[in-house]
Structure formats: C-alpha cells, structure tokens
C-alpha cells in the first residue's frame, strides 16, 4: 500500500462511504437504516459503540450502532431533529452516507458471560441496547437469563414492534414493555419503566444491569436499583447523548476530566461516583 493510501486509511477525520440497502420509519420521527460499506468489508465494532454519520456539504453527527457485529451490514436509527437528520430522512435506498468510526467504549460482553443480563431501555435508549441484546441472543449459551425492560412515552412512539413481539415469544428471554400514557390499543403495563423493575424474576444484585434512555430516566432507575441493592459496579450507563465530534477534540461531551466519546459512551456506574453532574 502506498503512503498516500496509508494516510487515507488512518485519517480519523475521513469517512468511508456506505450505501443504504434498507430503510423504514419505525414511528413518526425515527428512521431505521441498514447500510453496506462500499469497501465490501463489514465495519468491525462491538456492542455499545457509535459511528459519526455524515452527508457531504451538510455535516455529521454521532449515531449509536443498533445492529450486532454477528450480522452483516450496519443498522442505525436516526431521529429527525435537525438539518443533518432532515437530509438523511429524505435519502432513499441506494443513497450514500459517510461513516467514520467506530468510536467509544463497549458493553461488557466478555465480563458478562455466565451472568444474568438486565437491560433497562427508555424510548430511543433501546437502539444501542439492541446491539448487545442481539449479540447475547446470537451467543445464547454464553449468558444467563436475559431480561429486557422497555419504557416508551406513548403507544405511537414504540420502536421495533415486530422484533419485540418475536422476543416475547422466545422461551429463553423475558421482555416486559410499558408506556407512560394509556392508549385504547394497549392492554399492557401503563407507567414509567421503573414500575417494571419489581416484576423482575431474577437475583438483581448478582445480575449485570445496562441502562440507556433520556436524562430524566437515569435518576429514578438508579434509585430503584439502589433500593434493590444492586452494587454500583454491576450497573452500566450509556451517556451517548452528550457526544459530538467523536474523537475528543471539540470538548462538547466533556464532564469534568472525562470525555464521553473516548471513555464512554458506556460507563460502569461506580466509575462515575466521583464525577459531579455526570448523570
């Protein structure tokens, strides 16, 4: 490989091109994309990591990876919230995106082997958690019980409805779902996601608990886990909402001495105990 190509490969600011092979709206604001890298080689990543997604001439932003590295291609879910995401939402199958990364820390896929896993997902927080959930299901014999708690603000905002229904049919995992607001088409649990925690049929203090959701959710979920006597070093939180550049240059995600994009977005909760305003 020539020196020019080598520099191109190692440039942390230079994205690779990827092609949209599947797209569908999951609800009114969230777009699901399946991408194939134009290089012909799948991106190498681990559950919990993210990529910087760009459109030439528009900009870029950090997006959590929702697929498992056990599958082909790359799956992302993108909320329509700004100029970049508005453009991405208009792209059709065959459209091109720039992909830079992957970046960030990962879920403890190796340390979790042999242990019960509890995933607590609030709203779009299901997206990055889904990567580890699918990875664990594809390596089912490596893990103990798999319990997934999903809370959504309202019925129409629910994500991956067909996939959740398939998970609920499985005998080797437990999936409980709740919505904050009652709906005529919903006969399940109504209330915030913490109302599901007392229903967990597992030894919570010996489980590994992964949390991802809107900022307001963390405080109450962590309080509920403290009441259940779950040790802080068995809790993992995802702080991906704070990131921007992905490589620790812009300072947007800095929380005191920590850069979320480099030391996170997945943190062991006990590591944040001495970091004010982390959560």
Query: Do the strands 96-103 and 50-55 form a parallel or antiparallel pair, or are they unpaired?
Result: antiparallel
Concatenating the DSSP letter of every residue in 29-89 gives SEEEEEEEETTSSPPP--TT-EEEEEETTTEEEEEEB-S-TTSSSEEEEEE--SHHHHHHH
Beginning with the edge strand found earlier in the chain, give each strand of the sheet holding 59-64 in spatial order: 59-64, 50-55, 96-103, 16-25, 30-37, 74-79
SS3 of residue 99 by DSSP:
strand
Q: Specify the pLDDT at position 142.
A: 98
Question: Which positions ≥6 away from 262 have C-beta within 8 Å?
Answer: 103, 104, 247, 248
Going along the chain from its start, the domains and CATH numbers come out as 3-103 (2.40.30.10), 117-272 (3.40.50.80)
Contact between residue 247 and residue 259 where contact means Cβ atoms under 8 Å apart? no
Q: Specify the pLDDT at position 278.
A: 56
Q: What is the pLDDT of residues 224-267, one digit of tens each?
A: 999 999 999 999 999 865 555 555 545 555 555 555 556 668 98
Q: Specify the pLDDT at position 239.
A: 82
Q: Specify the pLDDT at position 124.
A: 94
Q: Specify the pLDDT at position 116.
A: 97
Task: Point out the residues of the chain with pLDDT beneath 50.
Answer: 1-8, 249
Q: Specify the pLDDT at position 123.
A: 94
**How many other C-beta atoms are found inside a 10 Å radius of the C-beta of residue 103?**
21
CB-facing half-sphere around the CA of 223: CA atoms within 13 A: 8
Q: Specify the pLDDT at position 6.
A: 44
pTM, rounded to two decimals: 0.89
Q: Specify the pLDDT at position 11.
A: 67
Q: Specify the pLDDT at position 258.
A: 59
Q: Specify the pLDDT at position 13.
A: 76
DSSP 8-state symbol, 106: -
């Amino acid at each position: 490989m020539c020196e020019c190509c080598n520099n191109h490969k190692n440039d942390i600011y230079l994205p690779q091109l990827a092609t949209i092979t599947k797209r569908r709206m999951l609800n009114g604001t969230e777009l699901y994309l399946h991408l194939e890298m134009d290089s012909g080689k799948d991106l190498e990543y681990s559950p919990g990591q993210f990529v910087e997604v760009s459109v030439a001439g528009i900009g870029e932003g950090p997006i959590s990876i929702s697929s498992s590295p056990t599958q082909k291609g790359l799956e992302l879910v993108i909320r329509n919230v700004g100029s970049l995401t508005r453009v991405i939402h208009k792209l059709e199958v065959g459209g091109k995106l720039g992909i830079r990364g992957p970046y960030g820390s990962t879920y403890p896929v190796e340390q979790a082997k042999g242990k019960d896993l509890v995933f607590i997902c609030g709203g779009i927080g299901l997206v990055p958690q889904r990567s580890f959930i699918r990875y664990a299901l594809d390596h089912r014999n490596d893990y103990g019980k798999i319990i997934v708690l999903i809370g959504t603000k309202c019925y129409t905002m629910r994500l991956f409805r067909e996939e959740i229904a398939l998970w609920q049919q499985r005998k080797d995992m437990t999936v409980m779902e709740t919505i904050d607001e009652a709906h005529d088409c919903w006969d399940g649990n109504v209330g915030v996601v913490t109302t599901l925690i007392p229903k967990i049929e597992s030894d919570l203090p010996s489980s590994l608990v992964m949390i991802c959701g809107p900022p307001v959710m963390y405080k109450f979920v962590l309080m509920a886990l403290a009441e259940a006597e779950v040790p802080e070093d068995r809790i993992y939180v995802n702080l991906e909402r704070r990131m921007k550049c992905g490589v620790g240059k812009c300072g947007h995600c800095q929380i005191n001495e920590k850069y979320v994009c480099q030391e996170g977005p997945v943190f062991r909760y006990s590591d944040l105990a001495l970091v004010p305003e982390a959560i």
